[in-house]
Amino acid sequence: MTPSADAEVPPPQRSAPWSAWRAVAGLGVVSLAGDMVYEGARSITGPFLASLGATALVVGLVTGAGEAMALVLRLLSGPLADRTHRYWAFTITGYAMTALSVPLMAVSPFLGGSGLAVACALVLVERTGKAVRSPSKTALLAFAAGAVGRGRGFAVHKALDQVGAFAGPLLVAGVVTVTAATWAGLAVLAVPGAVAMAVLLFVRARVPDMSVYDPQGAESVRAAGVITEPTVLPGRFYLFATSSAASTLGLMTFGVISFHLVDADLVAPALVPVIYAVAMLTAAAAALVTGFAYDRWSAKVLLVLPFLVVTVPALALADRLWVAVVGVAVWGGAAGVQESTVKALVADLVPARRLATAYGVFAAFEGAAALLGGGLAGALYSGGRNDLITVIAICQAASLILLVAVFRAIRH
């Protein structure tokens, strides 16, 4: 039997128990702790899998497939969340999957010949958790951010998120340096995982209905009841999703970049998380700048994204450390824009009751591009870097053209 909307959405409230900014900050703290877990793990995934016997192609395919699952599976979880209104349940389940799977990766080196397969499977489980929670969490955030400015709301949330993305890799780097074991760096991430779950449950108890911050959105959601009609999203949304997919194709997974840093003898494995942390700081800064600019000067600030992405492979895969670090920083800036300001525009393109569905569909476009981009980067890493740079440049040109078309559709 289809769950009732009453299962998760309480009766309409006249006022929220917290201010909208406090709700945004609460979700941001959850993301901070959660990002310590999965970004800490991502920072060392390439070298960790390599230590278990993985090649560059395997690392590229696994991390690319993981990113694809984290995005494509939202095509299912998003509409299901909109149909049942169980946004909190999906959010909590997804975070729990991540909090458990990452520390369990630390067991892989002790499993003999099956260690690599188990580690790869847990990478995919962690990314599946991301797919389960992301549309619902982003829909909850969009409601709260609607009361303070979506560009600002998403930007501040992303900045808090990136604090965790910065601290997680540094924690892993410190543990790996002391223990000389990458598995130990994964095991310690059980602590921020527990913190993320505790804070998430607290925020859920304080604000069980985030749509109260957006009266128009709340009315739309409650009036929809249990959604049974086919999903219909605006054409300009699909145009924007295609543009973003072309951009994502060029934004390689950090697994491939970290593999290059170690394979080219640019840094020791223990320093890879430190470089990743630098990228996360850049992502936070880019999110804040473009997010506040979004509310002030409109979505045209997103025109900078293709120009950032096009420079990533030429810089990040260079044979000089300082050039590669600059490339990683640019990679982080582009990722910060994609994870914050891009989502603000999605929320402004679709009806409130379709938010989770829209984020799921949008992620499916990006997921297909992530899988192709990860495999392409891994396959061409050894001898085809110039070809890779050329392909990515063509994709970014297409992304820019489509983005301009989106703005024309919005204007008319």
Read off the pLDDT of residues 135-176 as tens digits, 9 standing for 90 and up: 999 999 988 888 888 888 988 988 898 788 788 888 998 898
Q: Which amino acid is at 88?
A: W
Q: Which amino acid is at 282?
A: T
C-alpha–C-alpha distance, residues 349 and 359, integer Å:
11
C-alpha–C-alpha distance, residues 302 and 340, integer Å:
11
Residues 6+ apart with CB under 8 A from 11: none
Q: HSE on the CB side for 302, CA within 13 Å?
A: 29
Average pLDDT over residues 258-281: 82
Does residue 118 or residue 14 have the better pLDDT?
A: 118
Tokens of 152: 């600002």
State the pLDDT at residue 216. 55
Is the per-residue pLDDT at 4 higher than 70? no
C-alpha–C-alpha distance, residues 63 and 376, integer Å:
12
Tokens of 381: 């890493």
Residues 306, 309, 313, 314, CA torsion sign: positive
Is the per-residue pLDDT at 2 higher than 50? no
Mapped onto helix, strand or coil, the DSSP state of residue 257 is helix
- Of 22-36, 63-77, 101-115, where does mean pLDDT reach its minimum? 63-77
> What CA–CA distances, in Å, run from 293 to 247, 262, 300, 331, 383?
20, 37, 9, 20, 40
State the pLDDT at residue 338. 81
Of 42, 48, 46, 36, the closest CA to residue 189 belongs to 36
CATH 3.30.70.100 for domain 18-411, yes or no, is no
Tell me the domain boundaries of the chain: 18-411
Average pLDDT over residues 90-118: 92
Tokens of 214: 């957006």
Phi-psi region of 53 (alpha: psi -120 to 50; beta: other; left: phi over 0): left
State the pLDDT at residue 102. 94
Mean pLDDT value across the chain: 83
C-alpha–C-alpha distance, residues 166 and 301, integer Å:
25
In order, the DSSP letters of 192-246 are HHHHHHHHHHHHHHH-S-GGGG-HHHHHHHHHH-S--SPP---HHHHHHHHHHHH
Confidence of residue 204 (pLDDT cuts 50, 70, 90): very high
Average pLDDT over residues 52-77: 82
Is the per-residue pLDDT at 284 higher than 80? yes
Average pLDDT over residues 401-408: 90
- The proportion of the chain whose per-residue pLDDT surpasses 90, expressed as a percent, equals 25
Instruction: Give the tens place of pLDDT for each residue, 308-342.
Output: 988 888 888 888 888 989 999 999 899 888 877 88
How many C-beta neighbours within 10 Å does residue 50 have?
A: 21
CA 232 to the chain's CA centroid: 24
State the pLDDT at residue 28. 93
Is the per-residue pLDDT at 198 higher than 90? yes
State the pLDDT at residue 6. 41
CA 91 to the chain's CA centroid: 14
Listed ranges 121-125, 267-271, 293-297; the one with the highest mean pLDDT: 121-125
State the pLDDT at residue 124. 93
> What CA–CA distances, in Å, run from 330 to 42, 283, 396?
17, 8, 15
272 close to 132: Cβ distance less than 8 angstroms:
no
Rounded to 10 degrees, what is the CA torsion of 134, 137, 140, 145? -80
Instruction: Give the tens place of pLDDT for each residue, 222-249.
Output: 444 444 444 578 888 999 999 998 888 8
Is the per-residue pLDDT at 64 higher than 80? no
How many C-beta neighbours within 10 Å does residue 211 have?
A: 28
State the pLDDT at residue 10. 45
C-alpha–C-alpha distance, residues 87 and 133, integer Å:
8
State the pLDDT at residue 202. 92
Is the per-residue pLDDT at 91 higher than 80? yes
Is the per-residue pLDDT at 400 higher than 50? yes
State the pLDDT at residue 384. 62
C-alpha–C-alpha distance, residues 62 and 375, integer Å:
9
pTM of the complete model? 0.73
- Of 49-58, 97-106, 284-293, where does mean pLDDT reach its minimum? 49-58
